[in-house]
Amino acid sequence: MDYLSKKYLRSRKIPSTACSGCGLGLNHKAVVQAVYELGLEVEDVVWGTSIGCAGRQTFGTWKGDGFAGTHGRVYAIARGLRLTLPPEKKIILTVGDGDAFGIGLLHLIHASRCNADMTIIVNDNLGYMSTGGQYGWTTPHGSKTDSSPYGMYEHNLMSDGMDVLGVLKHAGATFLARHVAMDGQRAVESIKKGIQNRGLSLIHMVFPCPTNFGSRELGTRDTVKIYEWIENQAAPLGQEKENTVWATGVYFDASNSRPEFSESIRKNVETIRRTAAL
Amino acid sequence: MKRYLETGNFAITEGAILAGCRFFAGYPITPATELAEAMSYRLPQMGGIYIQGEDECAALHLCIGAALGGYKAMTATSGPGYILYADPYGWAIGCEIPLMILNSGRVGPVSGITGAPGQGEFYLTRYPTQGGNFETIVLAPNSAQEAMAIVVEAFYLSERFRTPVTVLADQLITDGFEDISVPENEGEMEEMGFRKWPRKINRGPEFYPATDEIDIPPVVLGHNTGALCSDWTPTEEGYDIEEVAAHHKHAYRLIYKIRNHRDLFNTLYEKTFMDDDPDLVVVSYGTPSRVVNTAVKKARQMGMKVGALRLINLWPFPDEHFTRKTKYLSVELNWDGQLVREVQRAAPKDSKINFLGTCGDLPTIPDLIEAFTKILRGQSLERRGWELEGW
């Protein structure tokens, strides 16, 4: 990541304060790699983050302008910002699963509804890991966490045939993909497509947490074990096995098919300003 | 100058546009809905943006986003929406985002009575978010015309102090029809005493200097200044840091940039018959003050030595008006007594402090005259059925 970090990231934030073995860095690198491969410069991107592991570890890493919203509300802040930034500026958000699919789901649905141009990377460590490890809205059924000592038995957004990406598809998001942290270049390609979509793109990226998830679910902080556990349950779309939880690849691509939020608002405002017509 | 017979909502809209507001995000709520409607009509004509949030929490976050993009932004609501601002209000205080927030009070708690005036958010506007370690600026007009001026002033103060400013009105101000004069050009604005402050861009690298200085341009994103803003304790450059000393520096700024520059707004008050050290000072703000002023004039004609103090700058609370030991009466649009508690705190220890509260409707002049008479005779006020609370 050296050449990438020199170009795009602040030295003050390297190395990150993540736990040893944390997979978040893989996701973070995939995003920066995608930005690099698209030929974007530091000034082309405003980077927003949420709170929790994903938000805190990525906040202030981007050399350019950055912000961190309150828990779950970064989609609303980014929508307001979108209306005031030039259309060529990209907004990239690195957030966590609790932020996007729990407390912030309403705002995420409404950002999808209006197809606001932003690329959201949901870094999913399968629950609330920065608070010590409680189950969340994508925690696989039966998983042991500090708040599900008997195994997680609540319905959630990835159980019983549910898929949170389906919710967002029907809410109006125009690019949706899913990956696991170990997907490497495949994930980079999806993120690139997401950034190129002028509309709301979301890439759901599961990453391993050995410290709080691995230790409770697998009984060990052994990094390799949790990486294997996730990798075994992930398969490319169309090649799913019986135990596949995360089918990876592009889930839905309607890139540039719907008017973008800020563009449409600006166009309408301009017409009204010119004609003052009711 | 153009004259209208219009509502306070109209006056506030025109004031905001005169102040340079070009972004409004809101959520429909009585009695601030017409303000959103007026904005949806007026802003696009001015090249500004109106949008509706999915809730009040989103609405204020949308305003924050727009303010981060360099726009002057505002939202408007009533009590049940104002509590949903807790989350973004705190963020805006911490990141020092200039915003104007209008609260039109109705009868609470919760939804209560939607189309009647109340003053239940006196303390809520002081503590609109959790955590403490901050100071807030709150201004309360008492008419539609004044609401316009106060809104312009709130935008002005929000830019200079880099903080959200709440304008606390009530249902009678926002919904009531009044004679309103709107300035039509900069010259007329100046004539009416309207002050304007342009949005400037902070170019860093010290985005959050640990001083009480004002007039520091706010953080604006998208100009590649390397600006950082977050909900965590910031270093002066905006990096997140878990350190009590750094947090104290930040909190010092949030508290004292306002406390140490109160002279910029503590001149906002009105005193009637206060020059001869009256035996009773009637304290109020917002619409009830209009009845109080009339009642006090009448009482003077009747020979009672009564004066009226109307607060416009509510927070930080102007203690300086309460240095004299005398009798005080706080007249409020609530039955629990809120402003009176601050009077009790600020006034000299052995002052006699009374409270008269109505809610949903204004006190009448006979009610007030009766109260003045009782207090001046040394009697206490009493509760009168469901209409009136007094002590």
Q: Which CATH superfamily is domain B2-191 in?
A: Thiamin diphosphate (ThDP)-binding fold, Pyr/PP domains (3.40.50.970)
Q: Which residues pair with B376 in a beta bridge?
A: none
In this model, does residue A1 exceed pLDDT 60? no
Q: Where in chain B is the domain with CATH 3.40.50.970?
A: 2-191
pLDDT tens, residue by residue, A49-61: 999 999 999 999 9
Residue A278's pLDDT band, with cuts at 50, 70 and 90, is: low
B373 exposure class (CB count in 10 Å sphere: 0-12, 13-18, 19+)? middle
Long-range contacts of B319-325 (CB under 8 A, 24+ apart): B319/B346, B320/B266, B321/B269, B321/B346, B322/B346, B322/B347, B322/B348, B323/B348, B324/B277, B324/B281, B324/B348, B325/B350, B325/B351
Q: Where in chain B is the domain with CATH 3.40.50.920?
A: 271-390
The domain limits of chain A are 20-275
Q: How many CB pairs under 8 A join A and B?
A: 139
AA identity, residue B201 = I
Q: Which residues of A touch B (CB under 8 A)?
A: 12-13, 42-43, 46, 49, 51, 56, 59-60, 63-71, 73, 76-86, 89, 106-107, 109-110, 265, 268-270, 272-273, 276
Contact: A80, B228; criterion CB under 8 Å = no
**What's the whole-number mean pLDDT along residues A208-230?**
97
The CB-side HSE value for B323 (13 A sphere, CA atoms) comes to 3
Contacts of B238 in chain A (CB under 8 A): 60
pLDDT tens, residue by residue, B300-341: 999 999 999 999 999 999 999 999 999 999 999 999 999 999
A196 exposure class (CB count in 10 Å sphere: 0-12, 13-18, 19+)? middle
pLDDT tens, residue by residue, B258-306: 999 999 999 999 999 999 999 999 999 999 999 999 999 999 999 999 9
Mean pLDDT of chain B: 97
How many contiguous H segments (helices) and E segments (strands) does chain A have? 11, 8
Looking at the complex, report in whole angstroms how far the Cα of residue A116 sits from the nearest Cα belonging to chain B.
12
Interface TM-score (ipTM) > 0.85: yes
Given B47, B53, B90, which is nearest A273 (Cβ)? B47
- Three-state DSSP at A220 gives coil
**CB of B144 closer than 8 Å to CB of B6:** yes
pLDDT confidence of residue B385: 86
What CATH class does A20-275 carry? alpha beta
Given B49, B58, B232, which is nearest A269 (Cβ)? B49
pLDDT confidence of residue A42: 98
pLDDT confidence of residue A23: 97
Nearest to residue B283, comparing CAs of B245, B330, B340, B316?
Answer: B330
**CA B25 remoteness from chain centre:** 18
CATH level 3 topology of B271-390: Rossmann fold (3.40.50)
Q: Residue B141: which residues within 8 A CB-CB, separation 6 or more?
A: B147, B149, B150, B167, B169, B173, B286, B312
pLDDT confidence of residue A14: 86
Nearest CA in chain B to A274: B45
For strands B352-357 and B327-332, give the pairing: parallel
Give alpha helix (H) positions in A38-95: 52-58, 74-84
The CB-side HSE value for B174 (13 A sphere, CA atoms) comes to 32
pLDDT tens, residue by residue, A9-36: 999 988 888 999 999 999 999 999 999 9
Q: Residue B12: which residues within 8 A CB-CB, separation 6 or more?
A: B35, B76, B102, B144, B147, B148, B151, B167, B169, B174
Nearest to residue B175, comparing CAs of B257, B125, B113?
Answer: B113
In this model, does residue B386 exceed pLDDT 90? no
Looking at the complex, report in whole angstroms how far the Cα of residue B102 sits from the nearest Cα belonging to chain A.
19
B208 exposure class (CB count in 10 Å sphere: 0-12, 13-18, 19+)? buried
**CB of A111 closer than 8 Å to CB of A200:** yes
